[in-house]
Amino acid sequence: MVEAELARVSDLLNAALRARAVVDAAVEGCLGAMAPRLPAGTTLDALQAWLGRRDKALEVLARLRQAERDIRDSEADARIACERIAGALAAAALPHHPDAGFDALVGVAEAAVEREAEFRSLRAAVVERERDLQARERGLVAAETAERTWQEAWSKACTACWIGADDPIPAEATVREILVALTDLGPALEKQAALADRIRKMEDDQSAFRDAVLAIARDLEVDPAGRPPLELERGMAERVASARAAASERTSRAHALEAARARRRELDEALTIHAGQRDRMTAFFGVASLDEVGERLQQTQVRTELLARVEEAEREILDAVRLSSILEAEQALDAADRSALEAELAELTARFDDQDQRTRDLFAALGKASDRVDAVGGDDAVARIEERRRTTVLEVEDKARQYLRLRVGVVAAEQALRVYRDQHRSSMMARASEAFRTISRGAYSGLATQPDRDGDILIATAADGGSKVASDLSKGTRFQLYLALRIAGYHEFARTRRPVPFVADDIMETFDDFRAEEAFRLFAAMAETGQVIYLTHHRHLCEVARRVCPEVRMHELPMAT
């Protein structure tokens, strides 16, 4: 069978060699027709490498021609752009050299645009400063008038109560300290009343506890003997605890006794059953003790194992000699020649090893021949791989262009935002500083910024010359700073765009009445530009708003049910 398989493999190998010779002849004919300059006997790998170099050369040639066309188009566009820029400069009466290049013309145009933009910015800044000056002058007149009115009202209010009994009338700081002290006095009185009520209730609880302890002592027939209620209660509690512990111990001992009795009954029953089983086993084996019964059981187990081994050996012998009974097998083995059998076994073993090695060698040769036949491919795998490579390269180029466009757009947007912030920061910071100074009633003179690694840090400048970072301010002062920034941002937004409603939700919760008045004055000034909406659940702020801005409109929302 192995020799037939070897002959078949040899035939297949010869057929494959003949087919390969036919394919090689066809390839040489195609190479001669396609590229006569290629040397004879060119292999497929060499042909594939030559085709790759040819494709790269054609691709480079196409890129070169496209680059030449792009250069010609760029030069034509540059001439047209130069003519248009020169015409625009001549129309604007800007001096320039008629034979100047594109970069020089663009530089002249950009310089003119920058000068015009600077002039416009300066003119706008002058108009803005004049408008600010007029507003500041009007604010100064209004502030002086308001200060005189406030001083008159302050003097009238102080003289109408005990605060103005002394002469001269106390300053606002003194009255503010008095009001703070009065505010602290109310909670202190309430705390005193609460403590007195707690003391009274604790005394009542002590009296009730003493009466209850004496009543329990009478019920238990315990003599108080003038002992304190706590000591008497502790002694009775110890007696009750010891009594409960004794009752619990008695119950557990009773349960343990009952469990021991039940265990004894179970052991008696098991002992009776064990004695009956022992008598039956000793009678069956004809012995007098259980030790002898154990020896008989071990001997029985050994006998069973030996019988099983004998049956297994008989089956192996019958399978080897191909007979039906062990007696026939013994007779056949007695009649056989042992030396002849051993010689035949050695010969068959050697032949088996030789045939096995030959089979292995033939199988390896068959595998190598199959690999050589499979290596002669006639499909388009190479072309498909090259197509995928070019497609991948084009996709990478397209993605790279998209990334560069997006990156350039992000950089341009960041630069535009930085320029916009630099241009509008000064006016907005000035408005925010003025609003913060007004709301804080002069406690802080303004705001400043300090550059940091990730941006700018906002700093509040105190009236005494000190400064604090915004994060170090108190909660109420941070709320004032936040409101001042929102007001400045609203004015900056409304200056260049259509104003939108300004909504604030109870931001003056931590403000006192004086700072709330200043905030409402700023809201009234904002209302001249757009709509201002303030939401609150503090009724005293409504009175402050009516006093500061009489034309304010109040809307009371119904309570949710």
CATH of the domain at 445: 3.40.50.300
Position with higher pLDDT, 419 vs 323: 323
Say if 247 falls within a structural domain.
no
pLDDT at 126 over 80: yes
User: Once rounded to an integer, what is the mean pLDDT over residues 387-412?
Assistant: 79
The answer to whether 443 touches 518, Cβ cutoff 8 Å, is: no
Q: Say if residue 338's pLDDT is above 70.
A: no
Tell me, yes or no, whether 506 lies in a domain. Answer: yes
Using the 3D structure, point to which of 131, 149, 167 is the last residue of a domain.
167
Which pLDDT score, from 0 to 100, does residue 97 have? 62
What's the token pair of residue 44? 């497929």
Q: Are 163 and 175 in contact (CB under 8 A)?
A: yes
Distance set, CA 129 to CA 427, 528, 529 (Å): 10, 20, 19
Q: 188 falls in which pLDDT band (50, 70, 90)?
A: confident
Buried b / exposed e along 152-169 (16+ C-beta atoms within 10 A):
eebeeebeeeeebeeeeb
pLDDT for residue 282 is more than 80: no
Rounded CA separation 139/522 (Å): 12
Number of domains the chain contains: 2
Q: What secondary structure letter does DSSP report for 471?
A: G
How far apart, in whole angstroms, are the C-alpha atoms of residue 282 and residue 296?
A: 10
Q: What pLDDT sits at residue 480?
A: 83
The boundaries of the domain holding residue 151 are 43-167
375 part of a folded domain: no
Q: List, for residues 296-307, the tens digit of each pLDDT value.
A: 778 778 788 888
Tell me: pLDDT of 464 over 70: yes
Residue 321 falls inside a structural domain: no
End position of a domain, from candidates 149, 167, 185: 167
DSSP-assigned letters across all residues of 7-46: HHHHHHHHHHHHHHHHHHHHHHHHHHHH-TTSPTT--HHH
Contact yes or no for 332/321 (Cβ under 8 A): yes
**For the chain, percent of residues with pLDDT exceeding 90:** 0
pLDDT digits (tens, 9 = 90+) for 51-107: 777 788 888 888 888 888 887 777 777 777 776 767 666 666 666 666 666 666 667
Taking the model in full, what pTM does it have?
0.29
The confidence score (pLDDT) of residue 253 equals 84
Residue 238 lies in a domain: no
255 or 406, which is more confident = 255
Please report the pLDDT score of residue 341 as a whole number. Answer: 64
**Of 167, 190, 209, which residue constitutes the final position of a domain?**
167
Task: Report yes or no on 379 lying in a domain.
Answer: no
Higher pLDDT, 379 or 255: 255
Work out the average pLDDT over 162-190.
Answer: 69
User: Three-state DSSP class for 375?
Assistant: helix
More reliable by pLDDT, 227 or 140:
140
What is residue 404's predicted lDDT score, i.e. its pLDDT? 78
Q: What is the pLDDT of residue 345?
A: 67
CA distance 275 to 101: 128
Nearest residue to 231 via CA among 209, 263, 199, 251:
209
Band of residue 16 on the pLDDT scale cut at 50, 70, 90: confident
In-domain check, residue 213? no
The mean-pLDDT minimum among 45-49, 301-305, 484-488 falls in 45-49
pLDDT at 36: 61
| Residues forming a β-bridge with 450 | 457
433 found inside a domain: yes
pLDDT at 531 over 80: yes
